[in-house]
A = this chain, B = another copy of it.
Amino acid sequence: MAQDRHRPLRNGAARTRARLLEAAAEVFAEQGYAGASVDEIAGAAGVSVGSIYSRFGSKQELFEALMSEHLARDVARVRDGMAVGLAEGVSTPDDILHEAAGSRRRTLLDAETWVSAMRTPALRRALVEYEAAARHETSRTFAEQRGHIGVDIGMSDEEFATVVMALYQGLLRQVRLDPDVVAPDLLSRVLMALVRGLAADTGDAAPRDR
């Protein structure tokens, strides 16, 4: 009991690391990689520059650690978000979309991730890998749903997942730029229409050049 008083001060290792990554997230997000100074990050974290360089070897390594954590968190979010399912008519895809759009921090870090990935091959590979994981997760979830309903979509689950992700990311961009342009239920409306239209194209239900 008395020892608990000391607990928050102990294990400074992980604690300091977390505070540093938090500060790095804030500063890198707001200023960008090149625009951020190690001094400012140190100040925001309440530590000194030397402390940063002892823990992470360089500004670049600190940035990569942050990016890695950012992507890992996003993977977890996709996994959780997929658990609720797509085609049930639930409005949760829209909730996920608007929640993601609402966070300035995430918006800026996503943008910084993208711009860095387009310049740095190593970061690009990491992002490709992450995107593939998200695609498989989406694809797998949709395959289950499709099994329940029993519709033929006319394309592979992987390709459909690609379309869903593109639509999600595209709308995310629109919402982040100007929230008024995207109705709260647009994503789910379009997804349902899309499934219907794809099923119709297989000749399952619709007349084509009769």
A102 at interface, CB cutoff 8 A: no
Q: How far is the CA of A135 from the CA of B174 in the complex (A)?
A: 11
Partner of A197, one of B32, B169, B177, B193: B193
* Chain B proximity mask over A29-42: 1 for CB below 8 Å, otherwise 0: 01111110000000
| Copies of this protein chain in the complex | 2
Partner of A206, one of B114, B154, B205: B205
A196 at interface, CB cutoff 8 A: yes
A10 at interface, CB cutoff 8 A: no
Docked-complex contact A114 and B117, CB < 8 angstroms: no
Q: How far is the CA of A181 from the CA of B160 in the complex (A)?
A: 11
Chain B residues in 8 Å Cβ range of A65:
none
Q: Is the interface of A mostly helix, strand, loop or mixed?
A: helix
A72 at interface, CB cutoff 8 A: no
CB under 8 Å from chain B, chain A span 124-158: 124, 127-128, 131-132, 135, 154-155
A182 at interface, CB cutoff 8 A: yes
Q: How far is the CA of A59 from the CA of B111 in the complex (A)?
A: 22
Nearest chain B CB to A94 CB, angstrom units? 13
Query: Chain A residues in contact with chain B, CB under 8 A?
Result: 30-35, 107-108, 111-112, 114-115, 117-119, 124, 127-128, 131-132, 135, 154-155, 159, 162-163, 165-171, 173-174, 176-178, 181-183, 186, 189-190, 192-198, 200-201, 205-207
What are 17 pairs between A and B in contact, CB < 8 Å? A108-B115, A112-B115, A154-B193, A159-B183, A163-B171, A163-B186, A167-B167, A168-B170, A170-B170, A192-B201, A194-B194, A196-B201, A196-B206, A197-B198, A205-B206, A206-B206, A206-B207
The 9 closest A-B pairs by CB, nearest first: A197-B197, A170-B170, A166-B170, A34-B35, A193-B197, A34-B34, A196-B197, A111-B115, A169-B170
